[in-house]
Structure 1
Amino acid sequence: MAESLRCTVCGRALRDPASRARGTGPVCDRKTRIPPLPGTRRPALPPYVDGRPVDDVPASPLF
């Protein structure tokens, strides 16, 4: 994607290199950014699976 000289949301001139690469200024970026969905973190693994330490459990059934 080519660098923008103007914000794609409001049309203001972009001065910061990061803003130009993103295509939006910092204010418009905060206003239009989609927040992460709650609960999207991976659950923690239990220390043991089937009585064996997690490091000892095969990663997939193919192995």
Structure 2
Amino acid sequence: MYYLMLKQKIKDFLTEEDGIGTVEMILILVVLIGIVLIFKEQLNSLVESIFKTINEQAKKV
């Protein structure tokens, strides 16, 4: 009897898909962090350029 309950609990655990979303989110975050690290210098120069343009345009208003 106990063996059947244990077998069913193991089967339920293996077929459970609740944790899949968490794993996917972690993988997406790891990929995004990797992309940011690879293109760090380009992103910094892009952001600096955008803020420089914003400041120049704000002075004209």
Q: TM-score, normalised by structure 1?
A: 0.21
Greater RCO (Cα-Cα under 8 Å, separation 6 or more): 1
Which protein has the bigger strand share? Answer: 1
Q: Max radius of gyration: which structure?
A: 2
Which protein has the bigger helix share? Answer: 2
